[in-house]
Amino acid sequence: MGNPGILLLIALAPVVIIAFYIYFRDKYEKEPFWMLVKSLLLGVVIVIPVGFVEIALGHLPNYLPVSFPVFYESFVVAGFTEELFKYAAVLLLIWRNKNFNERFDGIVYATFVSLGFAALENILYVLDKGAGIGIGRAFLSVPGHALFGIFMGYQLGLAKFVPTERPKRLLLAFFIPFICHGIYDYLVLGGNIWEILIFIPLIIYAWIRGFKTLKAGGQYTLTAPLPMTPEVPPEKEGKGNGDIQ
């Protein structure tokens, strides 16, 4: 299996690298260290209930006629369950918290919760299956969780600071990561050549969208108008502090 210290390093290195990257992308007002730690720990904690729910859902096909097992495993067992718990954790942590005072903060906290989840999940995988799986997950699964957090946090930032968009953005904050997670798992679990050929350009496109989302989420301070983006019509854009509720 290898040296446990080396295995832990392989499991946690991508989490630490991405966490620092997101932290330094928060240009205007850094989040309190204790809030970032709390976000990571909350992501770690929800692995436990997620595990129980996934086990229960995994046994459900024994009692129901599930015709598409890979689709069910990808979208229901993994995608829906994991993103729902992360979504609930982020909302409980920051929605009414005074530190959620910039649109980019949604991205920071949602990504840190996702990274906490990915950290423990990665440790369990690496200790069980070895360094090889850890290296693969360092380039795919851990960044994938971070990407889902970026998409979630961006929508939560819009929901918080553009009240006229709130119901739609709160829905999208869960729906987009859920669908992305399900597609990712479906292509990975399918394993045939066509799915692999689809997977590679899709991952590249997803990361391009992720970096654009980071850029869009960071072009804003409380004292400046929200940037003009295709997702927020000009007449619905907020004007900083006046939009905080």
Kindly give the confidence (pLDDT) of every residue in the chain, 245 residues in length, as a single tens digit, with 9 standing for 90 and above.
578 889 899 999 999 999 999 999 998 889 999 999 999 999 999 999 999 999 999 888 777 766 688 899 999 999 999 999 999 999 999 999 999 999 999 999 999 999 999 999 999 999 988 988 889 899 889 999 999 999 999 999 999 999 999 999 999 999 999 999 999 999 888 767 777 778 888 888 888 998 888 888 766 544 333 443 444 444 444 444 334 33
Q: What is the pLDDT of residue 66?
A: 64
**CA pair distance 66, 13, nearest whole angstrom:** 38
- CA 154, CA 18: separation in Å to the nearest integer? 17
Q: What is the Cα–Cα distance from 83 to 87, expressed in whole angstroms?
A: 6
User: What is the pTM (predicted TM-score) of this model?
Assistant: 0.85
DSSP 73: I
> 184 Cβ partners below 8 Å, 6+ apart?
74, 79, 144
| Chain centre distance of CA 12 | 16
Residue 1: per-residue pLDDT: 59
- pLDDT at residue 220 in the model: 52
Burial 183-206 (b: 16+ CB within 10 A, else e): bbbbbbebeeeeeeeebeeebeeb
CA atoms within 13 A on the CB side of 139: 7
Supply 79's token pair.
Answer: 């995608």
Q: Which of 104, 114, 179, 196 is nearest to 147 (CA)?
A: 114
CA 26 to chain CA mean position, Å: 17
Give the pLDDT confidence score for residue 238 in this predicted structure: 45
Instruction: Give the helix ranges, DSSP H, for 162-192.
Output: 166-190
Compute the distance between CA of residue 105 and CA of residue 144 in angstroms, rounded to an integer. 19
- Return the pLDDT at 60: 85
Amino acid at site 199: F
Residue count of the chain: 245
CA distance 208 to 243: 29
Are the beta carbons of 161 and 229 closer than 8 angstroms?
A: no
